Amino acid sequence: MNTTAAGETIEPEFAWRAGAPRARSMAMRLFSWRQPGWVFLWSVGAASLFVAAALLSPALLSLSPTVDMIGPIAEARAVMAGEADLAAQDAPFHLLLLMAADIFVDAPGRVHLVAKAIGAALVAYAFAFIAITRFPAVFVTLATAALAGFIAAPFSGAPEFGLALFIVCGLCFLTASADDSPGRARFEGALAGLMLAALWLLHPAFALIGFILLSACPFLTGRAGLWRYAGALIGFAFAAGLMEVMAPGVNLARAGAAPGALELHALFKGGESAVGLGGAAYGALIVILSSAVFGGGAHWKNWAASAALMVAGLIAAKLAGASALPVFAFAAALACFSVSSPFYDGLFREHDRASVATALTAAALTLFWTGAVAVHAAGQFSLQHRAAKEAPENIRSELALVQPGGPTIAKWVEEGRFSTPEARAFFALTPVDQSAMLLEAAARARVIAAEGLDVAFLTGADTACVLAEERDCRADGPAAANEASVVFVPRLEMDPKTTEAKGRAEAMLYTQFKMVERTALWEIWVRRDAPAPAGLFPSTATDYR
């Protein structure tokens, strides 16, 4: 110890209380804000890379059955033709995106890619507008790109799009804004209300949990929080009323679907494993715990809102079957970078070495897992590019859907390695099997359709209108078969909906049609009062009555 001339004792300065100017300078760059207009442009520019990647990709990489990828497009076209009811569909808003994409492209995979791009652009603009007054510039730019990539990535679908919208709504409802003017609050609320309505039309679980977060909005988002709350309710009511005019009964149908969407057993099945999300979860918990310890009771709104967003987002993701990775990144961001974060105190007030280290650690963890979302999406696009180069030309050009691996079961049946009944009993079709099988039928169906005969595939959805014949799509495969002159019936099991469709149409086939040809993969049935197609095999054409 040292003493002054007056005999007073001077305590030595502990190392952890000393200044850390270089570390503080680095942390301040991560926590720094910029002009909102410029940050908005940077963010949208970063997100546009993933939007462009989806728009310009020649084919979509998918691990789903081919009929599952073609089915929604057939349903969207059936709705447009007035053959199906939009209100009765599982995810009406996703069908609206597919309808919009269908205006610009025709191939099924490209329709999905353009729909992803549209959804990613909508979320990127909404998030960037809401985030520029809530978070620093570096995070806003990186997070906007990450959300766009998460939606546009090849393996993402309607659940991932819904989760991204849910995260944006949650941040709007739980985070205070640096611009707390009533005008901006009303606009933010209305925008979030429109997103809630979209969630209502995607998966009721997202919307219902979103309304729970909305109830906290007046208490957590500043003096103008009540304006946000009112704006959200008005925006939701307006959008829901507009959809009711466009599709009568849609809100009642969504309300009827809500109990099934909230089944608790869905929380314990599907989704990513604990190993896959463990690092992101631990990182978010560390940041939130640091915020709670560092901020104490004075900053309870910050860490409590972060914990609420993480729990609510994880439950919503599990119920909808979406990947929960972004939930942890954005929950950590709320604790670390929001305007009410306690880490700003450590940087701008008591900036000793310990507080700077805590803020820098929290920021680094948050940015790492936010960047991981973008890197994960970029990896999927890279895999998609490689798979597209290796895919058969006809599958890539006609379907714009590519799957890893080559034909197996369907090819082996054609080559006579085993019989169709054995295939049905012991093997399941791979996605690439389905693609090859459907393209074979489509090629023959187009020849038959050129003779003036209406053709249908007896699949769950009316896939023939997408692949083989230019006509209005019917509500489903059986409905198309009921009005067709020629029906292709798959001999291998494609998916549960196709199996159900075959069961429903069996009586109609045997009473109104006659089977005129059987290949290893398909049966061809012709209506009894229709002329025989010219392209039948000679052995069957002579037997046609």
pLDDT at 537 over 70: no
Q: Same structural domain for residues 429 and 310?
A: no
- Which token pair is 523? 């049966």
Q: Residue 328 falls within a domain, yes or no?
A: yes
The CB density around residue 433, as the number of other CB atoms within 10 Å, is 27
Q: Residue 314 falls within a domain, yes or no?
A: yes
Q: 81 φ, ψ to 5°? A: -85, 0
Q: Same structural domain for residues 345 and 478?
A: no
**Mean pLDDT score, 291-306:** 88
Q: Which residues does 114 contact at the CB level (< 8 Å), separation at least 6?
A: 54, 55, 100, 101, 104, 105
Number of domains, the chain: 2
Q: Give the three-class secondary structure for 10.
A: strand
Q: Give the three-class secondary structure for 525.
A: strand
Q: Residue 11 falls within a domain, yes or no?
A: no
Domain boundary residue among 365, 385, 405?
385
* DSSP summary character for residue 474: -
What pLDDT does 486 receive?
93
List of E strands, 356-469: 401-402, 455-457
Give the integer Cα–Cα distance in Å for 36 and 34. 6
Residue 526, beta-bridge partner list: 486, 514
Q: Same structural domain for residues 108 and 255?
A: yes
Q: Residue 506 falls within a domain, yes or no?
A: yes
Q: Same structural domain for residues 98 and 236?
A: yes
What pLDDT does 514 receive?
92
Domain boundary residue among 357, 385, 413?
385
What pLDDT does 531 receive?
80
Task: With beta carbons less than 8 A apart as the criterion, state whether 112 and 95 touch.
Answer: no
Q: Same structural domain for residues 282 and 166?
A: yes
Q: At what angle do helices 274-295 and 353-390 cross, to 10 degrees?
A: 160
What pLDDT does 541 receive?
43
- Which token pair is 124? 């990127």
- Quote the pTM value: 0.89
What pLDDT does 2 receive?
47
3-state secondary structure string, 465-489?
HHHCCCCCCCCCHHHHHHHCCEEEE
* DSSP summary character for residue 11: P
Instruction: Report the chain's mean pLDDT, rounded to a whole number.
Output: 86
- For 168-222, write each residue's pLDDT tens digit: 999 999 999 999 899 999 999 999 999 999 999 999 999 999 999 999 999 998 8
Q: Same structural domain for residues 466 and 355?
A: no
Q: Which of 51-55, 115-119, 295-299, 322-326 has the lowest mean pLDDT?
A: 295-299
* Plot region of 429 (φ>0 → left; ψ -120 to 50 → alpha; else → beta): beta
**Mean pLDDT score, 283-307:** 90
Cα 114 from chain centroid? 13
Query: Residue for token digits 């292709």?
Result: 488
Q: Which residues does 286 contact at the CB level (< 8 Å), separation at least 6?
A: 362, 365
* DSSP summary character for residue 47: H
Q: Same structural domain for residues 131 and 55?
A: yes
What pLDDT does 201 receive?
94
State the DSSP string of 154-214.
TT--HHHHHHHHHHHHHHHHHS--S---HHHHHHHHHHHHHHHHHHHTT-HHHHHHHHHHH
What pLDDT does 4 receive?
47
Query: Residue for token digits 């009586």?
Result: 507
Q: Which residues does 439 contact at the CB level (< 8 Å), separation at least 6?
A: 394, 395, 398, 399, 467
Q: Same structural domain for residues 381 and 478?
A: no
Which domain does 491 fall in, by range?
A: 422-541
* DSSP summary character for residue 518: E
Q: Residue 497 falls within a domain, yes or no?
A: yes
Q: Residue 247 falls within a domain, yes or no?
A: yes
User: Buried (b) or exposed (e) across 37-74, using 16+ Cβ within 10 A?
Assistant: eebbebbbebbbebbebbbebbbbbbebbbbbbbbbbb
Q: Give the three-class secondary structure for 66.
A: helix
Which of 175, 137, 172, 171 is closest to 31 using CA atoms?
A: 137
Q: Same structural domain for residues 54 and 131?
A: yes
**Mean pLDDT score, 119-137:** 96
Q: Residue 300 falls within a domain, yes or no?
A: yes
Give the integer Cα–Cα distance in Å for 58 and 112. 11
Q: Same structural domain for residues 455 and 368?
A: no
Q: Same structural domain for residues 364 and 480?
A: no
Which of 65, 152, 48, 128 is closest to 399 using CA atoms?
A: 65
Q: Residue 403 falls within a domain, yes or no?
A: no
What pLDDT does 216 receive?
94
- For 100-118, write each residue's pLDDT tens digit: 999 999 999 999 999 999 9
What pLDDT does 78 receive?
94
What pLDDT does 294 receive?
84
Give the integer Cα–Cα distance in Å for 398 and 73. 15
Domain boundary residue among 362, 385, 408?
385
CA distances from 430 to 62, 66, 67, 399, 427 (A): 11, 9, 11, 16, 9
What pLDDT does 344 receive?
81
